[in-house]
């Protein structure tokens, strides 16, 4: 009983910090994510004064992130996208979120590896992990400013849809690379087993995991829609959707052994499409419900980042952070401008002004933070990778997020 009480107290401490962060964001007139990050840093400073333990440990963050936080964030983002417009832009979105993600991750890995130039302290697998994490984008600040400027739905759908599919593909890639990295560490510790090697094996694993997750999510989405229509109740409908977010992830990861993130994303899109006529009846409160759930979990992620970040990171890893910032911004721009000319083969052409906002507006945010927080500490380079990702996220919040307003006005979007 005491353990449950302690757990509740720890959760409340972080939730209060999240609310303080939202208040700070309002006072400072900045993004909620930055306000929650500041609140997390302040909450971390208070811990020694209060002699309090949050219960956060590197070894339990992976389960918290993957089985509690990510399903809600991905489902919420997928639920917000209009299926009709998504269908129009599905070709370019899939191009950016598959080939584009791989290109972006590889460029980041190459620049990071040769920039740090420390093969023993920062091997290839560490560079690939960094690339996979930083391939995930979160243009929430840009989307907010585009909405304020009454931008057309096509650009909003392209930016939001590309980010959503991009995140899902990046999580699959991260899981693949993390599996290889963990196996390499185990092998060094005299564990048995054959590592996954060879481009063919990697491509096959990625394809099975990716499309297996899509198939699982399709089935879950159809079942979710049927259950909601059968229950014919607003409260029961919302409960079914929340259950679908966690259930589709668990089914994919633990039963079918495919991508849980792809399953959650597909489940949300299919359920939304099948239930579009119920948006004014049984699901009238679905959008605000997912809004506050997404806000809560996003706030908690940045509070945890604030609790985790240390001044030693900036003192010891400042050069690695700068290399990661250059690599992340450069790789994103290169991936967008390499893939954009191919978009007209699979969908509508993408104007040059849109390419600029997608390139500079590809911020790193909640998904990148969530992934790097889930790194196991058994990896000898985990702290370096975490420092690099934190540096890029801070640059996104403080530079890209703020300057995106000027860019949108300049491009007359």
Q: What is the pLDDT of residues 267-324, one digit of tens each?
A: 999 999 998 888 778 787 888 888 899 899 989 888 988 888 888 888 888 999 999 9
Q: Is the pLDDT of residue 190 over 70?
A: no
Q: Please, what is the average pLDDT of the chain?
A: 85
CA dihedral for 180, 182, 187, 193, sign (positive or negative): negative
230 and 273 in one domain?
yes
Number of domains observed in the structure of the chain: 2
Residues with Cβ within 8 Å of 239's Cβ and at least 6 positions away in sequence, in order, are none
Host domain of residue 24: 1-55
Counting Cα atoms < 13 Å in the Cβ hemisphere of 308 gives 23
Model confidence over 358-367: pLDDT tens digits?
888 888 888 8
What is the per-residue pLDDT for 187? Answer: 56
Q: Are residues 116 and 44 in the same domain?
A: no
Kindly state whether residues 165 and 23 are assigned to the same domain: no
| In a shared domain, residues 32 and 90 | no
| Distance, CA of 105 to CA of 173 (rounded, Å) | 9
Q: Residue 192 has what pLDDT?
A: 38
Model confidence at 188, pLDDT cuts 50, 70, 90, reads low
Residues 312 and 258 in one domain: yes
For the chain, give the longest Cα–Cα distance. 61
In degrees and rounded to multiples of 5, residue 193 shows phi and psi of 120, 155
Q: Which residue has the tokens 């949300």?
A: 268
In a shared domain, residues 96 and 32: no
| Helix (H) and strand (E) counts in the chain | 18, 0
Confidence check: pLDDT of 24 > 80? yes
Question: Residue 361 and residue 171: Cα distance in Å, rounded?
Answer: 20
pLDDT number for residue 51: 77
- Asked if 67 and 51 sit in the same domain, the reply is no
Residue-wise pLDDT tens digits, 116-127: 988 778 899 999
Final residue of a domain: which of 55, 78, 99? 55
pLDDT digits over 26-79, tens only?
998 888 888 999 999 998 888 888 777 776 665 667 777 788 888 998 998 888
Residues 5 and 125 in one domain: no
For 241-273, how does the pLDDT look when each residue is reduced to its tens digit (9 = 90+)?
999 999 999 999 889 989 888 999 999 999 999
Are 165 and 38 found together in one domain?
no
| Residues 93 and 20 grouped into a single domain | no
Residues 385, 281 share a domain? yes
d(CA 257, CA 376): 20
Instruction: Please give the structure tokens belonging to residue 135.
Output: 């391939």
Residue at which a domain ends, from 34, 55, 76: 55
Residue 256: which CATH number?
Answer: 1.20.1530.20
Q: Do 66 and 45 sit in the same domain of this protein?
A: no
């Amino acid at each position: 009983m005491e353990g449950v009480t302690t757990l509740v107290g720890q959760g409340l401490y972080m939730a209060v910090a999240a609310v303080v962060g939202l208040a700070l964001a309002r006072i400072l007139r900045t993004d909620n994510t930055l306000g929650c990050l500041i609140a997390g840093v302040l909450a971390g400073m208070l811990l020694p004064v209060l002699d309090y333990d949050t219960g956060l440990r590197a070894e339990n963050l992976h389960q918290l992130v993957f089985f509690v936080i990510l399903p809600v964030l991905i489902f919420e983002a997928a639920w917000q996208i209009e299926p009709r417009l998504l269908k129009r832009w599905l070709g370019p979105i899939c191009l950016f979120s598959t080939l584009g993600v791989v290109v972006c991750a590889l460029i980041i890995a190459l620049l990071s590896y040769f920039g740090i130039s420390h093969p023993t302290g920062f091997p290839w697998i560490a560079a690939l992990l960094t690339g996979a994490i930083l391939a995930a984008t979160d243009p929430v600040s840009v989307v907010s400013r585009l909405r304020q400027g009454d931008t057309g739905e096509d650009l909003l759908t392209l930016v939001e849809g590309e980010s959503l599919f991009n995140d899902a593909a990046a999580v699959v890639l991260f899981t693949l690379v993390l599996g290889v990295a963990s196996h390499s560490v185990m092998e060094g510790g005299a564990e048995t087993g054959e590592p996954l090697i060879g481009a063919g094996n990697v491509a096959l694993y990625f394809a099975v995991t990716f499309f297996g997750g899509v198939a699982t999510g399709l089935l879950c989405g159809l079942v979710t829609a049927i259950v909601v229509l059968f229950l014919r109740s607003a409260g029961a409908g919302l409960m079914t959707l929340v259950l679908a977010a966690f259930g589709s992830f668990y089914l994919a990861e633990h039963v079918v052994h495919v991508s849980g993130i792809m399953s959650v994303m597909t489940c949300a899109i299919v359920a939304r499409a099948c239930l579009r006529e119920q948006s004014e009846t049984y699901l009238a409160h679905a959008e605000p419900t997912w809004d506050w759930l997404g806000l809560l979990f996003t706030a908690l992620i940045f509070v945890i980042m604030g609790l985790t970040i240390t001044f030693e990171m900036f003192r010891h890893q400042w050069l690695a952070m700068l290399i990661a910032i250059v690599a992340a911004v450069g790789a994103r721009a290169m991936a967008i401008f390499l893939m954009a000319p191919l978009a007209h083969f699979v969908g509508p052409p993408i104007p040059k002004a849109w390419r600029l906002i997608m390139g500079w507006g590809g911020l790193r945010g909640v998904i990148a933070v969530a992934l790097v927080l889930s790194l196991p500490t058994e990896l000898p380079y985990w702290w370096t990778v975490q420092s690099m990702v934190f540096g890029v996220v801070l640059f996104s919040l403080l530079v890209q997020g703020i300057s995106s307003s000027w860019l949108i006005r300049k491009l007359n979007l």
